[in-house]
């Protein structure tokens, strides 16, 4: 029996391409960068709004640029993917037990999607879109 420790070779890049589960994990982690960048954009919007009407109008003009539109579409897609994967993970992360039985995972994820849809409708109603 050898006393040398087993040192497994792990390449520093592309390890997540070896299995689809790892790829989905890394995709979810990358989407959090888009969500964080959009939060920073909202903080900048609040700063520009507090700076006065001229600064706010300049900010709104900047939001109409093609690069801004592409960023908003990418951030929305990333937010949908991020939320969807999180809602699907809750059934495993927070199993709900009532008595001796566990609530089916589809009910837990479905409740998250239902609340998300209702809150989205409330926001659209308050914003005057619907």
pLDDT tens-digit profile of 25-66? 889 999 999 999 999 999 999 999 999 999 999 999 999 999
Task: Read off the pLDDT band of 6 (50, 70, 90).
Answer: confident
Strands (E), 53-98: 97-98
Q: What is the pLDDT of residue 78?
A: 95
Q: What is the pLDDT of residue 5?
A: 84
Q: Domain 15-127, what fold?
A: 3 helical TM bundles of succinate and fumarate reductases (1.20.1300)
- Full-model pTM: 0.77
pLDDT tens-digit profile of 55-104? 999 999 999 999 999 999 999 999 999 999 999 999 999 899 999 999 99
Alpha-carbon dihedral of residues 51, 57, 62, 63, nearest 10 degrees? 100
Nearest-angstrom CA–CA distance, 65 and 21: 36
Helix, coil or strand: residue 128? coil
Q: Are 8 and 1 in contact (CB under 8 A)?
A: no
């Amino acid at each position: 029996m050898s006393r040398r420790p087993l040192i497994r070779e792990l390449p520093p890049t592309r390890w997540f391409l070896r299995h689809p589960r790892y790829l989905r994990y890394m995709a979810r982690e990358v989407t959090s960068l888009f969500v964080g960048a959009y939060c920073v954009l909202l903080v900048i919007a609040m700063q520009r709004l507090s700076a006065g009407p001229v600064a706010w109008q300049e900010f709104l003009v900047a939001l109409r640029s093609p690069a801004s539109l592409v960023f908003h579409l990418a951030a929305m897609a990333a937010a949908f993917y991020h939320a969807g994967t999180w809602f699907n993970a809750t059934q495993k992360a927070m199993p709900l037990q009532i008595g001796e039985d566990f609530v089916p995972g589809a009910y837990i994820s479905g409740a998250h999607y239902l609340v998300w849809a209702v809150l989205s409708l409330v926001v659209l109603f308050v914003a005057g879109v619907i």
